[in-house]
A and B are shown apart, each in its own frame.
Chain A
Amino acid sequence: MRSLLLIFLGAIAILFAGLGKKEIRMLPWAIALLLGALVFIPMDWIANEQPDWVNHIVPYFMMVFDRSALAFMAVIIIAAMLVLGLFGQREITGSDQLGLILFSLCGALILCSFTHMVMLFLGIEALSIPLFVLAGSRKKDLRSNEAAIKYFLMGAFSTAIFLMGCAFVYGGTGTLDLSVMQRVIPGSAAMGGMTGLAKTGVVLLMTGLCFKIAAVPFHFWSPDVYEGSPNRTTLFMATVVKIASFSAFFRLFNFAFSSPLAHGNWSFVLAILAAATILVGNIGALAQRNLKRTMAYSSIAHAGYMLLAILANPLESFWALIVYSLAYAGSSAVVFYILNKVQEKKGNTEFESFNGFGRANRWLGILLILALFSMAGIPVTAGFAGKFLLFSAAFTGFKWLVIVALLGSAISIAYYFRVFRHAFLTEADGDIIKPEWQDSVFLAIAATVLLLIGIWPALITGLQLFELH
């Protein structure tokens, strides 16, 4: 709660501080704000007397900051810090943009902690509305405008579906409170099956969330919007927004709809969507000639892998999802930073623009390899630990899906290596890129996350989510 309040109040302060000024350097304040919010998390973690959301606890403003919420919040705040740290220096000058990003972040934090559908809806909207503006924040760039319009129209569409889902679930269960919902939905068909209303409602909610995480077939917006939006917004969407949506997904489906009957009902459909998402994401990425668009498709594929965590036994897959999210956020930040720098020099992000990059920039080159390896899931990077945990958690229930996921990650090697080939194995002199010292600090943080968790994932997975009694 303290983290959320701090960021919310800070965002308002930053917004007003920029009143009437064209340009203002508020970035250090924003990062300090995030750091402060991050510091609260271990404090809350230790102080957390209430073990978890599985046990019934009295929500506070329809939110509960249990340990699962805190873990996701930490990941999201770190991801947001990477976005601001790596792109803030020159790109985010106005306090209006900074404010929007922070407000969106508040929405993301609400998505970690809601206990009521109203709060979930509020979180989704608080997360999305600033993004419509941010996607179009390059006012004179036609593609940026296109991205904003597309995102807005399709976002409105998905919101409508989501709201309809809420209504159906309310009709079917008579409540919008998650813990009540969990009690009302029967555990098995013998105890009285689910009504058609409730079933449909659950699937509609799933659809709404699938839109946010860009799962097939609700992913069409993402390549166009990702490509058209400014790089910083794309990174924000790919990491913070996606991870927050997954946190909501996890909370809703593994808590409210976790009874065996309900799980049996939605899991099969979701498994098919996950398989389709993995395949479309990877195959789509293979056909691209442009790194930014490749990353858009690769992020679709990553969403597909992460869906495995929703399907698996939540006790096993929770930390898998956290590790995967961290790995994904760290590697995406590095790739987008490099992509942004190359775009500044060459004007585009075609693969050819990366020729010779690795040889002109030794440390950035090593960092790029690290990030690509992590995305491809090669040991000993965090991406491998995440994939390994996810796949082994899902293997018990969904063997065929794990095979699809492995196949998908084998395909992904091809396009990650394409980047590697252009950056290292071509005869060309790439431009030398000198990161500013602030950038270097955040790049080092990302690299540490990728390596440390890769070598020692037990650092995170060893944490106790629930106090053992």
Chain B
Amino acid sequence: MMQNLALIILSPLAGFLITGLIGKRLPEKVTGWLGSLAVLVSFVLSISVFNQIAANPAGMHQKLFTFLSVGSLQIDFALQADRLTALMMLVVTGIGFLIHVYSIAYMHGDAGFYKFFAYLNLFVFNMLVLIMGANFLMLFFGWEGVGLCSYLLIGFWYENAEYGKAARKAFVMNRIGDLGLLLGLFLIIFEFGSLDYHTVFEAAARGDHNLGVITAICILLFVGAMGKSAQIPLYTWLPDAMAGPTPVSALIHAATMVTAGIYLVVRCNTLYHFAPVAQELILYVGIATSILAALIGLKQNDIKKVLAYSTVSQLGLMFVALGCGAYTAAMFHLTTHAFFKALLFLGSGSVIHGMGGEQDIRRMGALKASMPLTFWTFLIGTLAIAGFPFMSGFFSKDEILAEVFVHNKVVWALAVGSALLTSIYMLRLFFVTFLGSFRGTDEQKHHLHESPWMMTVPLAILAILSIGGGLLNLPEIVGGGMAHTLKHWLEPVTGKPAGEHAISHGTELALMGVAVAMLLGAWLYTRNKYQSKGVVPEADEAQEGTGRLLSHKFYVDEVYDAAIVQPVNTTGEILYEQADRKGIDRIVNALGNLWVWLGGLYKKVQNGNLEYYLIFMVAGLILIVGFNLFR
């Protein structure tokens, strides 16, 4: 069974080669199913690996060949599967397969159909290399590879110059993160003399290494994670990345690639254990990102942009869990988030498909009647992310909140705020899109249709997972003997965190109560505003006269609106306008322009005039000789 590991990554690679090289000449259906089949094979093999690892917690390891050997440093091209990897493998190949099938219908008729499947297969291959690599260099290969595929797929419709720009932005921002990652790798070689996970973590666990260096390594790795997982300040590429086709947003920019940063930190938990400073940094960056993105999400009118900011926010929440050392909670939320966010993105894709490419929710509404399956599955996704009791998001989010509650009360309060905002913007999105009255053109109304089965079946499967995903890791008060399955599963990788205190059942119930109450409040508020009153979000800040509303609602709306909603909305808007577009975006762009400007400056020195050259050279020579003599 050992060759299984290699087969799992080779299958999508073969899929890439076949669809890429001869896909153009094959009928669409054949290309699409070939691509999907390649991923299905990986999925089936992953299940078999998963079962073996269930019996054997130590995991599997397979060396393919020696990649590099210089002096004492030897790096193998080796794969491994332990419990963390096995979980990720199932998420990547399982959701990957569903999205492949979905894409057959979604991309139907596109000129680059075969290219799309080739890129998608290549992405799955690279993602698998990323999670299955047995050393940091393999991880880096996958890391670069998925970045490249992300670039290709965001810019898939490159005829649109804006899209090409978004793709470049994603690539450049990721490269900034990669610099951190690469430096981290060099520091690991420097400190441990190896890049092999096993060697490095074993050496680190002994605890006799320089803590300063380990902290530096952890921070550098986190810089890499910031780029890939879209955290402040490297997050602005993700909303722009929505330029890519919707299945890409679901697979790469929600379920898999953007969680690579989470995976990296969990993988290196042994290192982070010795770097509390880095953990604190992760905690604060995570919570800041989570709040900022959630606030911005409140005022977006593009269906995919809302989901994009939501993803950034949820990833922030996962980093909050990592900052607390709650690795299980982070992985749990990663998994459930993969279910419901993929579902939501695919649902939005179904809507966009049905509406003939329309993405503005202000021109949608009342889609319930014509797209029932999309409606119900989207509702499930919304409830799952908003934390409706006993659905997957409810358990995973509550676990994070409970962990944070123990760790840091202030951050807990902020995280609860972020969760509340999540409920509000998601329900707003849901109500405006599916209920109320139809606001599109007549032609759109005429063409409105439910999507074909290849799109709705994946939706249904993901909906079931979104409902039941919580079973993975029930809290004790609900699960009893079945509780904490995922925690026990991951224990060989994460160990038993020493600093973890269990909170009393009473507190846990109270925390759940808070969450449910918030969801209820958000439901009532958004339902009242967007369904009952049929308020359509304004493009610009043009809040309507609130006088009439308040007489109906006993001032509650008014007070709520003025005290919380207005400031929050305005902050969201300001943050979007000022911080996101003008601040962070500009700083990042200016950094790029600086180099171009320097280049222009340099051109003046290189003027083609021999005398100048000689003078510069002699001056350089005198400086060097003088410096060297009198140093």
Contact = CB atoms under 8 A, between A and B. Distances in A.
A276 to B, nearest CB: 9
Interface string B62-82: 000111111101000100000
B67 A458 contact: yes
B553 interface: no
A298 B625 CA distance: 27
Interface string A410-433: 110110010001000101000000
Interface in A263-317: 265-266, 268-269, 273, 280, 282-288, 315-316
Given A217-B620, A389-B68, A392-B186, A284 B602 contact: yes
Main secondary structure of the interface of B (DSSP, over half): helix
A157 B68 contact: no
A192 interface: no
A139 B379 CA distance: 76
A266 B179 contact: no
Given A153-B610, A154-B613, A220-B613, A287 B602 contact: yes
A95 to B, nearest CB: 33
Contacts of A379: 140-141, 144-145
Interface stretch (A66-74, A112-120, A199-207): A199-207
Interface string B148-162: 100000010011000
A427 B29 CA distance: 28
B599 A385 contact: no
B548 interface: no
6 tightest A-B contacts by CB? A287-B599, A217-B620, A220-B613, A286-B599, A395-B186, A458-B66
11 contacts: A199-B628, A223-B606, A266-B628, A284-B599, A285-B599, A316-B71, A379-B141, A388-B137, A389-B68, A413-B171, A427-B159
B539 interface: no
Given A207-B621, A392-B186, A413-B175, 9 more contacts: A200-B625, A217-B619, A218-B620, A223-B606, A273-B624, A379-B144, A406-B182, A461-B68, A462-B66
A224 interface: yes
Given A269-B627, A410-B179, A462 B69 contact: yes
A161 interface: yes
B10 interface: no
A395 B595 contact: no
A285 B592 CA distance: 14
A64 interface: no
B616 A217 contact: yes
Contacts of A196: 629
Contact of A157 (B67, B171, B614, B628): B614
Given A217-B617, A425-B164, A286 B148 contact: no
A148 to B, nearest CB: 13
Given A217-B616, A220-B613, A425-B164, A402 B67 contact: no
Given A154-B614, A392-B186, A407-B179, A283 B602 contact: yes
A357 to B, nearest CB: 15
Nearest to A196: B629
A33 interface: no
A341 interface: no
A29 interface: no
B366 interface: no
Contacts of B627: 269
B596 A287 contact: yes
A273 B631 CA distance: 16
B67 A410 contact: no
Contacts, number: 135
Interface in B587-631: 592, 595-596, 598-600, 602-603, 606, 608, 610, 612-614, 616-617, 619-621, 624-625, 627-629, 631
Given A150-B610, A220-B613, A458-B69, A203 B179 contact: no
Interface of B: 65-71, 73, 77, 137, 140-141, 144-145, 148, 155, 158-159, 164, 168, 171-172, 175-176, 179, 182-183, 185-187, 189-190, 592, 595-596, 598-600, 602-603, 606, 608, 610, 612-614, 616-617, 619-621, 624-625, 627-629, 631
A456 interface: yes
Contacts of A410: 175-176, 179
Nearest to B186: A395
Contacts of A407: 179
Query: Among B141, B144, B164, B595, which residue has the most Cβ atoms of chain A within 10 A?
Result: B595
A457 B621 CA distance: 38
Query: Among A204, A389, A425, which residue has the most Cβ atoms of chain B within 10 A?
Result: A425
Nearest to A380: B141
B593 to A, nearest CB: 10
A428 to B, nearest CB: 12
Contact of B70 (A217, A283, A393): A393
Contacts of B598: 283, 286
A403 B602 CA distance: 22
A378 interface: yes
Query: Among B171, B182, B614, which residue has the most Cβ atoms of chain A within 10 A?
Result: B182
A150 B607 CA distance: 13
Contacts of A396: 190
A161 B621 contact: yes
A213 to B, nearest CB: 14
Interface residues of A, number: 65
Contacts of A388: 68, 137
A462 B65 CA distance: 12
A40 interface: no
B24 to A, nearest CB: 10
Contacts of A154: 610, 613-614, 617
B70 A389 contact: yes
A152 to B, nearest CB: 11
A6 to B, nearest CB: 32
Contact of B73 (A269, A280, A392): A392
B130 to A, nearest CB: 12
B243 to A, nearest CB: 14
A391 B66 CA distance: 20
B182 A207 contact: no
Given A150-B610, A413-B175, A200 B628 contact: yes
B608 to A, nearest CB: 6
A217 B623 CA distance: 11
Contacts of B614: 154, 157
A113 to B, nearest CB: 23
A320 B171 CA distance: 27
Contacts of A393: 70
A302 to B, nearest CB: 17
A417 B66 contact: no
B85 to A, nearest CB: 20
A402 B186 contact: yes
A255 interface: no
Interface string A21-57: 0000000000000000000000000000000000000
Given A150-B610, A203-B625, A395-B186, A287 B70 contact: no
A351 interface: no
Given A283-B599, A395-B189, A414-B592, A456 B141 contact: no
Contacts of B613: 154, 220-221
Contacts of A425: 155, 158, 164
A392 B189 contact: yes
Nearest to B73: A392
A286 B185 CA distance: 28
Contact of A220 (B182, B185, B187, B606): B606
Contacts of B65: 456, 458
A161 B168 CA distance: 46
A262 to B, nearest CB: 11
A319 interface: yes
Contact of B595 (A150, A286, A288, A456): A286
A217 B605 CA distance: 11
Contacts of B620: 216-218
Contacts of B621: 161, 207
A417 B619 CA distance: 35
A286 B596 contact: yes
